[in-house]
Amino acid sequence: MYSILSKKVLNPNVTQMEIEAPLVAKKAKPGQFIILRVDDEGERIPLTVAGVDPERGAVKIIFQIVGKTTFVLGQKEAGDSIADFVGPLGRPTEMEGLKKVCIVGGGVGCAIALPVAEEMHRQGIEVTSIIGFRSVDLLILEDEFRACSDKLIVMTDDGSYARQGNVTVPLKEMLEAGERFDLVLAIGPGVMMKFTALTAKPYGVPCRVSMNPIMIDGTGMCGGCRLTLVKEDGTKVTKFACVDGPEFDAYEIDFDEAMSRGRMYIPEEKHAYDEACNLFKQAKA
């Protein structure tokens, strides 16, 4: 069992927890992920590491409540524990040789982008961050991003806070104005990453994205997390997000396929979520 050391509700849908997992805390680097199971009957879900505190053996995770597993996890409190927690999995973000980077975070993807931005900042890389949310109610980690970014642009889709529009708008403006980045790193929903890539491409700036496909073991066994990369000459290559990723060249990813695969179990997920919510309501009543 793995103890929950702390819990903080960041917004009505997003919760932060620290889990006691000393071996993972010692090893995890920005860009890597873990897999957890809440209880013995539970599914295995991948979550990207949002930070570590090796001294306390703590691994920070930030998750959006989207289905049964995250709902049940969100009901847990500090002092409770979860059944399984394994990692760090995947490859860390490559930072070598970078001098100036634009980090684009969308929604809860900002939680994954933050440790990358922090580490880059620590290494002296110039960091411009663009973080976007549907509305002000869903805003998270603004102060944290401000602390590690040379420049921070906050966007809301509905204009309820900061600037209105999606994250590609300021990115395009900067690139159009002649700003040169060694890398644009986009982390967020599939459609947001797809359009960030489409925005960046005409400017010849390297762009990477962090993919989060459905996964079971996370160690290179099941093949469920496979993605199609389309090389420049048109050849297609199958890669596995768990061992080859989760970060990939944004210009090679077949986003439409990845997003379609991500929706494979929507009816089952919705059913499980509704059941979990009902059980919870009954227990409370």
Partner 1 sequence: MALDPKKHEMPSQAPEVRAHNFNEVALGYTAELAVAEANRCLNCKNKPCIAGCPVNIDIPAFLQLAKTGDFEGAYQVINKTSSLPAVCGRVCPQETQCESKCTMGIRFEPVGIGRVERFVADWHNANATEKAKAPAPNGHRVAIVGSGPSGLTCAGDLAKKGYAVTIFEALHKAGGVLVYGIPEFRLPKAIVGKEVETLKELGVDLQTNVVIGKTLTIDELFEDGYEAVFVGSGAGLPNFMNIPGESFKGVYSANEFLTRNNLMKAYNADPDTPVMKGGKVIVVGGGNVAMDAARTALRLGAEKVSIVYRRSMEELPARREEVEHAIEEGIDFQLLRNPVEILGYKNPDNPRDERNGFVIGARIQEMELGEPDAKGRRRPVPIPGAIYEMEADTVIIAIGTSPNPLIKDTTEGLEVNSHGGFVVNEDGLTSRKGIYAGGDAVTGAATVISAMGAGKVAAKAIDEYLSGK
Residue from 215, 189, 207 nearest 33 by CA: 215
Regarding 41 and contact with partner 1 (CB under 8 A), the answer is yes
Structure letter (DSSP) for residue 253: B
Pick the piece of the chain touching partner 1 (CB under 8 A) from 3-11, 142-150, 158-166, 267-275: 267-275
Give the distance, in angstroms, between the CA of residue 10 and the centroid of all CA atoms in the same chain: 15
- Exactly one of 201, 220, 278, 280 binds partner 1 (CB under 8 A); that residue is 220
Distances 146 to 138, 140, 170, 240 between C-alpha atoms, Å: 17, 12, 17, 33
Residues 83-142 that bind partner 1 (CB under 8 A): 83-89
Q: Evaluate the CA torsion angle 115, 121, 126, 130 in order and state its sign.
A: positive
- At its nearest, how many Å lie between partner 1 and the CB of residue 88? 6
Between residues 41 and 232, which has the closer beta carbon with respect to partner 1? 41
Binding mask 52-81 for partner 1 (x = CB under 8 A): ----------------xx------------
Is 191 a binding residue for partner 1 by CB under 8 A? The answer is no
Contact 206, 183 (CB under 8 A): yes
Binder among 3, 13, 75, 219 for partner 1 (CB under 8 A): 219
On whether the CB atoms of residues 108 and 64 are closer than 8 A, the answer is yes
Given a contact cutoff of 8 angstroms between Cβ atoms, the answer to whether 10 and 62 are in contact is: yes
- Count the neighbouring beta carbons within 10 Å of the beta carbon of residue 143: 8
- The reply on whether position 226 binds partner 1 by CB under 8 A is yes
> Residues touching partner 1: how many (CB under 8 A)?
43
Site residues (vs partner 1, CB under 8 A): 23-24, 27, 37, 41-44, 68-69, 83-89, 216-217, 219-224, 226, 228, 238, 240, 243, 254, 257, 260-261, 263-266, 268-269, 271-272, 275
